[in-house]
A and B are shown apart, each in its own frame.
Chain A
């Protein structure tokens, strides 16, 4: 490609790329970017940001290069462009570039939990919990309420300050009673937990994302934490500051009822000192958190307000630079703009003043608490403690650096020298996935439809209601011995209820069930011993190995456990995993273990519930062949699924259930045939116009869908012959009707089938373009 053609290209970064704020670190300006699809965050310098923000598809590289020269005074060569575009392309940030692999877990490798320090997740789905809390707290977020709450909090602060003397005397009383002190501590711990949740809720309200809620412990202190991701992407500085200060705000609000109680109790009440201590300690604790000292909330708020990240380290480097400059050992602070000098220097001064004040305060508190003879201790203890903490911190930091030096850093995921993409051809990168559904060959052999075949399950007029909802409405069918029987239907159609009634777990409101010639209700252990059920893939005994789990279940059946478990493992091809913990098995292996559990008692009839849900294609095929082999052994299999290709591939007959009714019951092929759906012929739209296609004999409809021309016909042979004269026959894809077409016709398009069933003929774009603000989309993308 020539340089001119290259510079005329107009590449575009993905429009959903989230541009974060501009921050200062040290003396450098950095811009934050986030890829909402992978959740990956990037920092770029001002020059890169200048370019990226102009790659919008309307400007050519040459125009942007000119603007760049005007701004920064240097020219951009083809090589620099190549580097930048290569990097963007490699990370999947260019519009049309293939999606980059999901970000490798950005978290630092979790340190193993110990007694001294560690963390544990408390909430399984923290984002969902925060969503729920977000909804519940909606009334409190209305501006008048917030203003009122703030006013009340300020009033409380004023009241506590005014009565500080009384409160302090009561606190002193409590300090001498360990039991009371402990009780106050417990209440304050709860307040701290709410503090963390408040950070999360504020961030959530500004569109942030709470990643994790859990418990952390360090040196015996245990506290709740609430990890908010991407605080920097919350928007304006005010939002970030508000999020940082939310915890302290809630700490103060938390004290309100206690203040009311304290104020209402008569002066001599026993509980008053404890409440007084709670008020004083709670207020001091809440406000202390707003001090601009790392790692407190106030420090974070200050950083957000100034737009400086890593304020404290920056300030430390600034001080070092200053000292070096004064000693003529370095260039000094010439590189710092005036404003930054003010900020970094001011922060250093502020820290020094605060530290001194805190030491004085701690000393005077100790002086008041300790007996008179220990006055010297009172004044020396806080500085000593501070020195010890600083020493420990320095040692820890040194240790970490030393360790980091010994282990080589991981290779960067995308190197800037990646080969340049060809922006001019970017339209060629558009994802193109046309399903090549050629004519299906080798139809499955239908079972003998002999009426003399023995029936295993007979349902007659089964109806089941849950309150207002009718789950099943007069369902009748019979399953023959040795049949692979599918029950299809949208979620909530009553499939699970149906299976539960057949196995005798539920009793139908009306109708009769016969299972192997007997009634499954009430619970009949002899009958249950003859059936096997594969439930969800998680029905395993916790923390056991595959072998241990199977042996336990075998013992529950009263079987000789060890041989039965071994046989079942061998049956599903998991012999090598006998000693593997179930938690460490893959999805396919777990499904097979669930199947082995169902096969333990050598059942005549097997129920499968969504046997291949969430499996990758290869694992699905493996499981399918296993299921087919089970059927060939003469077992009867009843299988619920909403994968239509699965039903088409496995089942002898399928029952389609919608809204509690039996919509259809037949062999998949017959269902498709009875639909009399047209055959579709797909060919590239560029080859022939719809009008020309319609002129061919036998063509019923011709429409352009995406890049394809779709022809519908009832006589594919004739049309193919006719088209052969106009286009190359190899360009034509023939797609016959599938079970999906039959299903959609029968269920009246009611329930959308799983997206990964037979691909839609257009293979085109997703029908709905969710207009979601980028900041809230992160939760979908991880």
Chain B
């Protein structure tokens, strides 16, 4: 990690969203191959939804996109993943820099329990070794919480413990936390699966608002959700003993109304999976 004392601008200029391009990505856990030559272009200003039954490699693919896959002992990977033409695995960019630029929101909300709400929001900056002024701090906290759609609910509880919020609020706090380091891409791994419908709707609204600035990739098991939030879909499927691969990709609209592949049709109609 390079201890660059970057200054964080107070008012964030709108991001120019980035393109994330995965080409022929395969992944293994030990000798077990879980992902077979997946290629997917994740375009700026679009929400790309990864859909498919459990165990088809969606989450593995997502974790490969910001180099979290390699944290599992024995994991390996082949192929190319590039962020705006920078190969994130081969070019001389540090892992921490990649992960800062490609943020991630997890299935289970995981705010840092030892930190307050506002400390949670700026935790990423401290973790990256970025300095921040006291005055810009408050602005940044407010701005990130607003973008995550949480500001009105917690503006009077900024010094409460992060774990004291409700599940849906915790998840939005995690989104705010990811936004604070100004990522180009946000990866979301079933962000609503542990939440109630109201919180889910709130987060879906947040996603829609964020789409203007950030490239978003979301894994979801909920077909309606995929239809609501995404512009583009990729359908993953794994065979009996075969690793997961992409069956079909396309605009969400087309995928749900007129898919090219019979299996996609069956899946989106709820016939299996």
Do A and B make up one complex? no
Question: Measuring CB to CB, which residues of chain A are less than 8 angstroms from any residue of chain B?
Answer: none
Residues on B facing A (Cβ under 8 Å): none
